[in-house]
Amino acid sequence: MLVLGIETSCDETSAAVVSGTGDAVEQRSLVILSQDVHRIFGGVVPEIASRAHVTAIAPVVSQALREANVELPDVDVIAVTNAPGLVGALLVGVSYAKGLALGAGKPIIGVHHMEGHLFAQSLEHANAVPPFTALLVSGGHTMLVDVPAWGDYRILGATRDDAAGEAFDKVAKLLGLPYPGGRHIERLARDGNPSHFRFARPMLRRNQQPGDDDYYDVSFSGLKTAVLLAVQASQDLERDGADIARGFQDALIETLAEKVRRAAEQHDRRRVVLSGGVACNQALVKEITARLADVGAEVYAPSVRLATDNAAMIARAGLFHAERGERDDWSLNAFASLPLGRKTHTSTSTSTKHAASS
Ligand code: KG4
Ligand code: ZN
């Protein structure tokens, strides 16, 4: 099966081609165009993102097909992110995918963006397949998911306020670093003294039990406030910046690593899959790997291109659903929010004839 994937949920216009069957899927091409314009505003401006997608989508898709050495008639299914994300941005991808599918007589399938993240690692590591524990950490989401099988997603915990990437970005702003700030904090923290600022580990209490509300959940707003107070109290931010960055990063990482360890241990998983932009953080990967070694679990961390938003993971998730005969019809819509695992497909090839072929 040959799948063209399209991703426009936030500020990356991306298209990719994957092919294969079951878990033997090969990435044939991946084009990612990041919208740099948002740096000026210190955050993604939704309307600008939508307009930039409109400009970029056609050449990005053409390039992905060209790099894969395939033509549109060769494609079996077009997979597109339809939730969650910026609704205007999502609509560009969904509308373009529908137009392409209608014109070429191809079926279309909507993919949940977070499900795409779960599949990203399987394109790089043959072993990054269920059953596994997943930590999805991006600018918009922080979720701990138990994945006994593809398509079966049990959300164990999530953030109660800021996403991990959002916390990185906000702390970076407090320290006068550029947006998006995650990698700048990581770089600065490398030179930081770990014992100068020791912030409380959010949502980590001694004696927490598996049934407790906060056993898997995380929260970063208190940590962010603690950093703000440290910044305000500093007489010389030039001198203290690296130590504050280190203190913040250590607190956030320790919290996430401990929650992942708990999840893997409780569900007896031997594999842990990371995804989302924050999974690019090497200190995070190192700490999770160290903690999971005790449990005997292997940690799979993606390369930067597959950790951040990309269409290869969308094509890969689309392939899974398409192989099961799922399809969407022309009523496929974009949604700003949609729970992971909620079935969005409007038809299956066995029960309903697809609009493109009818
Ligand atoms: O997955 P992503 O590209 O986009 C979405 O939010 O969906 O994630 C972007 C986030 C930003 O908040 C960025 O600061 C963070 O990932 N990030 C990092 C690192 N690289 C990117 N956070 C910590 N350390 C990094 N090295
Ligand atoms: Zn994402």
Which atom of ligand 1 has the smallest separation from the CA of 307?
1
| pTM for the full predicted model | 0.94
Which atom of ligand 1 has the smallest separation from the CA of 140?
6
pLDDT in tens, the chain (358 residues): 999 999 999 999 999 999 999 999 999 999 999 998 998 888 889 999 999 999 999 999 999 999 999 999 999 999 999 999 999 999 999 999 999 999 999 999 999 999 999 999 999 999 999 999 999 999 999 999 999 999 999 999 999 999 999 999 999 999 999 999 999 999 999 999 999 999 999 888 888 999 888 999 999 999 999 999 999 999 999 999 999 999 999 999 999 999 999 999 999 999 999 999 999 999 999 999 999 998 899 999 999 999 999 999 999 999 999 999 999 999 999 999 999 986 556 655 443 333 333 2
Task: Give the separation between CA 106 and CA 100, rounded to whole angstroms.
Answer: 8
* 277 Cα–ligand 2 center, Å: 7
Contact by Cβ (8 Å): 128, 117 = no
* 280 Cα–ligand 1 center, Å: 7
**What DSSP line would sit under 6-27, residue for residue?**
EE-SSSEEEEEEEEEETTEEEE
Residue to mutate (ligand 1; options 38, 159, 280; most atoms within 8 A of CB): 280
* 138 Cα–ligand 1 center, Å: 5
Q: Which residues contact 72 (CB under 8 A, 6 or more apart)?
A: 4, 65, 100, 104, 106
